[in-house]
Amino acid sequence: MDPTRMLPPALVESAKAYAAGVKTPVEPRNAATVVLLRPGASAEPGELEVYLLRRHVAMAFAAGMSVFPGGGVDPKDADLPSSLWAGPTPQEWADRMGCTADEAASLVCAAVRETFEESGVLLAGTAEAVLADTTGLEAERAALESRELAFSTLLEERGWVLRTDLLAVLGGWLTPVFEPRRYRTWFFVAAMPAGQVTRDVSSESDQVTWMSLRQAIEAADSGEMLLMPPTYATCCEFYAARTPDEALAHAAQLPYEMIEPVAEGERLMIPERLVALGLEVGRQVHGL
């Protein structure tokens, strides 16, 4: 029920070395992830459904963990012209996200591109309508994933625009200094577009699933599923939302924060607000 966690002995020693100045932290890479939500079986708290992918155990980062679709920013993500952009401007996103307009544009583009690559869901269309079917775009999705195709080229060839109005940004998480691979990850949230379907297409995962937020938290608490603290905390953050629209509104009204977990002794610590939220949601989930 506590979204913090005990650190493995090796990481405890690594954290001590960084704290003592013996080691220099790796420069984090910018990344984006998207919490895809859809209505649950009922409108009760915890029934909202979230899309999760379990990363292959051989992956260098977050092996065996269940995560939201997402990944690192690609240099081509900065090439999207303003003509292919519909919704809040890069500067409006930057004001919310605490970064430059160029960084915001790359991050929003990466969020949409990575979601398409890893789930088959594409937050794009015309200025008037969102795509309702992406099942015929497998060749393009694979070409994006292999970096043979730029996202801007796909949009231009199809006459589509990136629908940034379908996203809200919740906040961000910065990988602790003692990790060998570090990411500065912005967490976005989006409702599953009507008519589209998720597909098991990610080359980085061995299992994908839709499950209610309650089920995800229960599975993590029982050890049946592995969630990193940012993923667990995000599930708790949206637990009270009864619809995807409520979740987006909640994300938009929260003060923006880039969270950097720190090691205290053998434990990874996150902000007290999230610890309290995790404990409260845990009590609701387990009927305590």
**Residue 58: per-residue pLDDT:** 52
What's the average model confidence in pLDDT over 43-55? 94
- The pTM for the full model equals 0.93
Which of residues 202 and 116 earns the better pLDDT score? 116
Is 62's pLDDT higher than 60? no
Cα separation of 191 and 231, whole Å?
17
What's the average model confidence in pLDDT over 66-94? 94
Domains of the chain and any CATH numbers: 5-285 (3.90.79.10)
What is the phi/psi pair of residue 81, to 5°? -75, 160
The first and second tokens of residue 76, run together, are: 């081509």
pLDDT in tens, 160-186: 999 999 999 999 999 999 888 899 999
What is the phi/psi pair of residue 203, to 5°? -80, -10
Is 142's pLDDT higher than 60? yes
What is the phi/psi pair of residue 30, to 5°? -70, 140
Q: Which range, 10-14, 20-24, 206-210, 275-279, is most confident?
A: 275-279
What's the average model confidence in pLDDT over 114-123? 96
